[in-house]
Structure 1
Amino acid sequence: MSVSTVRPDVYAQVQHFYARQMQALDAGRFADYANTFTEDGTFQHSPGAQPAVGRAGIVAELERFHERFADDPVQRRHWFNHVALEPLPDGSLSSTVYALIVTVRPGGTPKIGPSCVVHDVLEITEEGVLTRSRLVTHDQEAA
């Protein structure tokens, strides 16, 4: 198998980026999360849904999605692993990541699901990493 590689420092930078990005999402800091996307970035996280476009659109979509948890003391944690990066001709990176979402309620047992694959295009800028596009596919939809 022939695979292009990225420098170890770029790989580490992307892993750190994902850690900060997912911590913002899990803490409900939707504006901070949206600011990890390019100005015109796209975000599609649910099967069949239209992608949210732009930072304001991403915040609106996350607020809409999380309304279902308004009266539910749930904590969700997004666990990203097996990050595979491929350089693209325009200098950006194609990123494929396995993701598990862990859900726990007070006094409850953590539940894992859904299991997803995250398909990103990332831009490395002077300021750091930004997501140009994100498509999340759910394993239960593919089976």
Structure 2
Amino acid sequence: MTATAVRTDVYAQVQHFYAHQMQALDGGRFSDYAATFTEDGSFQHSPAAEPAVGPAGIVAELVEFHKRYDGDPVQRRHWFNHIALEPQADGSLRSTVYALVVTVRPGGKPEIAPSCVVHDVLVVTEDGVRTRSRLVTHDQLA
């Protein structure tokens, strides 16, 4: 198998982007997370039926999703690894990432669930990296 290489500085830039994006999500800073998407960016995490579109739609989706944790002192951490980047003809990057979500409650043991694959289209400009689209698939639903 041959993969088209991306420059190491671009790969490092994407890793840095993902680190900050996931820290915003895990910290409950949904507006900051949504700001990492393009204005028309889409976010679909299965088993959600429809993608959320645009920063306001993404924030609304995250607020609704996280209501299930109201009154639950849970901390969730998203771990991205094995980032595979493929340059696209339009200059964007197709990104495929393995993701684990670690959930822990005070006094409890960390639980790893779910295991996911994240399929992104990223746009890299002089202003930084933005997500144009994200589709999250859960391994247990495959």
TM-score for both structures, normalised by structure 1: 0.98
Aligned residues: 142
Counting only pairs closer than 5 Å after superposition, residues 91-110 of structure 1 correspond to structure 2 as 91-110=91-110
CA drift at 1:71: 0.7
Runs of 4+ more than 6 Å apart: none
1:41 aligns with 2:41: yes
CA distance in 2, matches of 1:91, 1:135: 20
Once residues 116 and 53 of structure 2 are traced to their aligned partners in structure 1, the CA distance between those partners, rounded to angstroms, is 21
Once the two structures are superposed, residues 48-78 of structure 1 have per-residue CA deviations (whole angstroms, 9 ceiling, x without a partner) of 4210000000000000000010110000000
- Tell me what 2:122 maps to: 122
* Residues 1-143 of structure 1 aligned to structure 2 (within 5 Å): 1-142=1-142
Q: Which amino acid aligns with 2:136?
A: V
- The letter for the 1-side match of 2:78 is H
Two-structure CA RMSD over aligned residues (Å) = 0.6
Amino acid aligned to 1:93 = L
Q: Distance in 2 between matches of 1:125 and 1:30?
A: 23
Deviation digits for residues 90-136 of structure 1, max 9, x if unmatched?
Answer: 00000000000000000000000100000000000111000000000
**Which blocks of at least 5 consecutive residues in structure 2 are unaligned?**
none
The code of the aligned residue for 2:74 comes to V
**C-alpha distance in 2, partners of 1:125/1:67?**
35
> What TM-score do the two structures reach when normalised by structure 2?
0.99
**Cα shift at 1:46:** 2.1
Counterpart CA distance in 1 for 2:19 and 2:53 is: 22
